[in-house]
Amino acid sequence: MIMVVLILARIVAGHRHEALVAKRRHFLSLLLGDGSEEELAQLSQESPRLLGELSLELIQLVRGEERDQFIATATRLGIDAELRRRLIKGATRTRITAAEVLGDFPDDHSAAALEAALDDRSPDVRLAAALALAHSNRAPPVGLLVERLRLGTSERSLLITSLLADIARERQAEVRALIDDPAVPPPVKAAAIEALGATGDYSLVPVVNALALAADPSGEELPRYLRVLGNFQHPAGTPAVTKYLASPTWYVRAAAAEAAGKICLYELSYKLLAMLDDGDWWVRFRAGEALVRLGEPGRRLLGETARCGTERARDAARLTLAEQGVPA
């Protein structure tokens, strides 16, 4: 008897699932342009929850002109109002999703709702709202965001870099000002430097070099400074890179070695060579990689070390050359 009930329940659940799939397929067809305004209005009254879920999925999937058209349709159906309601009353995950999607709605009510969410009880929702505003170029002044979201103090997400990069696309001077402000926490300075690093503004190199030289030798910002110097590939970063090849902290030495290779600092070849005998595997790996970036002179040194170095250095050199397909 129990087995019969279970089988019947499974059959009923299967039918319900198939009906829901068919309904979703029909609604999607209407939302994507096959339905009239009357049909869509009726749909929004009959199944507002399903309509809201489908709208969210489509907004996140569609791109370009079709996305703009769909957002206009969604606005006529009141989806933006539903998102604003969810941003206030939903669970944390729901509020985050609502904030992410509302960033694509260009109206003032949505912008105001997102700005209000900057004071949400959840730091994740606050950051999602800030990212949505920045992505649509509607973010408040950067200094205000740092203070309001407590960036760099209680909020230390790596997404801070994405937030500042989005703002820097249109308001580069504001993000640049964070670097010179002594009151700005070091993690925000590092994020600002990373965000601006993609601009190729070489005037930043001496600034980053000076910050690196003055940084806490074991601080988490220092490797970020060194990586930015490496990405600039500019010799003005040489003083900081040279200094930190001898850092007592392994991840700082590794970042300095990586930067030395990217900047092609040939004068540091023998220091990089000595790092093939470093006690940390990751430092040896970065040193070998840097020597390869130096071209033939670096490969020659690797070849000599693979034959005559210490056991640890020989292994590092052989592995590096093997990865490059070069016989030791």
pLDDT, tens digit (0-9, with 9 covering 90-100), for 35-81: 666 777 776 677 766 776 777 777 777 777 777 877 887 888 788 88
Going by pLDDT thresholds of 50, 70 and 90, the confidence category of residue 20 is low
Q: Is 174 exposed, middle or buried (0-12, 13-18, 19+ CB in 10 A)?
A: middle
Going by pLDDT thresholds of 50, 70 and 90, the confidence category of residue 239 is very high
pLDDT at residue number 167: 95
Residues 181 and 220 in one domain: no
Residue type (1 letter), 31:
L
Beta bridge partners of 155: 151
Distance CA 98, CA 89 (A): 11
Q: Once rounded to an integer, what is the mean pLDDT over residues 208-223?
A: 92
Report in angstroms the alpha-carbon separations of 203 from 183, 236, 269. 22, 10, 27
Residue 33 in contact with residue 67, Cβ under 8 Å? Answer: no
Residues 249 and 318 in one domain: yes
In a domain, 86, yes or no: yes
Residues 121 and 133 in one domain: yes
Q: At what angle do helices 311-323 and 296-308 cross, to 10 degrees?
A: 140
pLDDT at residue number 79: 82
pLDDT at residue number 226: 97
Residues 223 and 321 in one domain: yes
pLDDT, tens digit (0-9, with 9 covering 90-100), for 165-183: 999 999 999 999 999 899 9
pLDDT at residue number 178: 94
Distance CA 130, CA 151 (A): 11
In a domain, 192, yes or no: yes
pLDDT at residue number 34: 65
Residues 194 and 97 in one domain: no
In a domain, 291, yes or no: yes
Residue 176 in contact with residue 208, Cβ under 8 Å? Answer: no
Residues 118 and 162 in one domain: no
Residues 119 and 195 in one domain: no
Q: Which of 93, 116, 140 is the last residue before a domain boundary? A: 140
Report in angstroms the alpha-carbon separations of 19 from 12, 24, 26, 58, 224. 11, 9, 11, 20, 53
Least confident range from 53-67, 79-93, 151-165, 196-210: namely: 53-67
Residues 175 and 214 in one domain: no
In a domain, 313, yes or no: yes
In a domain, 303, yes or no: yes
Distance CA 169, CA 303 (A): 45
In a domain, 11, yes or no: no
Indicate the number of domains in the chain. 3
Residues 240 and 302 in one domain: yes
pLDDT at residue number 173: 93
Q: Which of 201, 218, 235 is the last residue before a domain boundary? A: 201
pLDDT at residue number 273: 95
Distance CA 279, CA 312 (A): 9
Residues 228 and 292 in one domain: yes
Residues 121 and 234 in one domain: no
Q: Is the pLDDT at 133 greater than 90, yes or no? A: yes
Work out the angle at residue 198's Cα, subtended by the Cα atoms of residues 197 and 201, and round it to the nearest 5 degrees: 60
In a domain, 318, yes or no: yes
Range of the domain at 291: 205-327
Can you give the CATH number for the domain in which 222 is found? 1.25.10.10
Averaged confidence pLDDT in the chain:
88
Residues 244 and 322 in one domain: yes
Distance CA 280, CA 141 (A): 43
pLDDT at residue number 255: 97
Going by pLDDT thresholds of 50, 70 and 90, the confidence category of residue 15 is low
In a domain, 102, yes or no: yes
pLDDT at residue number 218: 85
